[in-house]
């Protein structure tokens, strides 16, 4: 090997200045960690949005059941309006012991209007995390002659 003023001729040398060794590997590892955290956040939000969409669908069915039953109550003889015991119903409004929905009808005198009753139809539906949520429809029906 020949030696010149610049050093050994014919040998390739690599100079590491200021302890830069390994920074490329650390950068790659940090990027992977940040990318995986982003993927976890996106998948969690996707699951959350899916559960919200499902709850909105079930709530819509419960509201439809409550409104439909209220319309049925309005067609009844006004003198026979009474509260009803809780009843398990399915998504078609039919009695079903295994139904997902619980319908309750409450009839009480309305003090703000003469000869009238306040009718509440409540339909409970399964919400997220096993909690029961409720949709309530209220109307006042005149029962006088």
What is the arithmetic mean of pLDDT over 90-115? 94
* Residue 115 backbone dihedrals phi, psi, to 5 degrees: 50, 55
Return the pLDDT at 138.
97
DSSP state of 138: E
Domain boundaries, the chain: 27-142
Return the pLDDT at 86.
96
What is the arithmetic mean of pLDDT over 105-117? 94
The chain-wide mean pLDDT, for the chain, equals 86
Distance CA 100, CA 88 (A): 7
14 or 107: which leads in pLDDT: 107
Give the tens place of pLDDT for each residue, 32-61: 999 999 999 888 888 888 878 888 899 999
Buried b (16+ CB within 10 A) or exposed e, 81-106: beeeeebebeeebeeeeebbbbbbbe
Return the pLDDT at 23.
72
Tokens read off for 77: 């003889």
Q: Model pTM?
A: 0.69
């Amino acid at each position: 090997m020949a030696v010149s003023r610049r050093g050994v001729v014919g040998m390739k040398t690599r100079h590491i200045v200021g302890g830069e060794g390994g920074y490329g590997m650390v950068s790659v590892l940090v990027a992977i960690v940040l990318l995986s955290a982003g993927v976890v956040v996106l998948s969690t939000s996707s699951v959350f949005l899916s559960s919200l969409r499902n709850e909105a669908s079930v709530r819509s069915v419960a509201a439809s059941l409550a409104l439909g039953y209220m319309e049925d109550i309005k067609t009844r003889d006004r003198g026979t309006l009474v509260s009803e015991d809780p009843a398990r119903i399915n998504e078609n409004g039919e009695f079903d012991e295994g139904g997902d929905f619980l319908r309750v009808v409450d009839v009480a005198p309305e003090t703000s209007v003469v000869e009238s009753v306040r009718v509440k139809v409540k339909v409970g539906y399964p919400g997220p995390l096993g909690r029961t949520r409720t949709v309530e429809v209220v109307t006042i029906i005149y029962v006088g002659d």
